[in-house]
Homo-oligomer: A and B are copies of this chain.
Amino acid sequence: MGRWEPNARGRLAEAALKLYAEQGFDRTTVTEIAEAAGLTERTFFRHFADKREVLFYGTEMALTMLTHTIAEAPASASPMDAVGAALESFGAFFQEDPERVRRRDAIVSASTELRERELVKLDAFASAMADALRERGTPEPAAGLAAEAGIAAFKVAYAHWVAAEPGKTDRTGEQQLPQLVRKALTELQEILANRAPA
């Protein structure tokens, strides 16, 4: 055993999640979180860049998952196929513990600052996917467009999924996030096809 209690980072993250849920993000100070974890404010900032990041540090993993899926997509897959596949597996990841995701979403949705950070993460996903597409030969602007449009569809699907009744998710499978992502992309395709001819 080390000199200190193990897993300081995890304890900080858990304490933060609990306090943000109980009293709101704004009314929680970093000092409170640190004390709840038996540490000091300074140590919190050694583990997380800022007060918000404690809710977003799973992001690097998601990012590598997305780029990896795109890189591994068969050469026959179109850009939008690759993006779709990546976002569907991303959705499947959320589906593993829907209640946890919903709890976290309630916290994030309640705070402007946290929603801001979420948008930054989504934008980072789009950039990473665009890079991954370029790596497999997709030219500009198709790479950027496919990535951004994919994120756009994901945002809509996620909002629908998170707002749905928790019970319905498990039974039919109709409302599973990966399927909702796929539907959103298909619907988007139709919406765009309905543009007025030039």
Q: Contact between A84 and B191 (Cβ–Cβ < 8 Å)?
A: no
Q: Is A156 an interface residue (CB 8 A)?
A: yes
Q: Is A144 an interface residue (CB 8 A)?
A: yes
Q: Is A99 an interface residue (CB 8 A)?
A: no
Q: Contact between A144 and B119 (Cβ–Cβ < 8 Å)?
A: no
User: What distance in Å separates the Cβ of A186 from its nearest Cβ neighbour in chain B?
Assistant: 8
Point out the residues of chain B lying under 8 angstroms from A145, CB to CB: 152-153, 156, 184, 187-188, 191
Point out the residues of chain B lying under 8 angstroms from A156, CB to CB: 141, 144-145, 148
Q: Across the two chains, which residue of chain B brings its CB closest to A138?
A: B191
Point out the residues of chain B lying under 8 angstroms from A184, CB to CB: 141, 145
Q: Is A149 an interface residue (CB 8 A)?
A: yes
Q: Is A81 an interface residue (CB 8 A)?
A: yes
Q: Is A117 an interface residue (CB 8 A)?
A: yes
A52-77 with Cβ < 8 A to chain B: 77
19 A-B pairs in the complex with CB atoms less than 8 angstroms apart: A77-B196, A78-B195, A78-B196, A79-B194, A81-B195, A81-B196, A116-B117, A116-B120, A141-B160, A144-B159, A145-B152, A145-B156, A145-B184, A145-B188, A148-B152, A148-B156, A149-B192, A152-B152, A189-B192
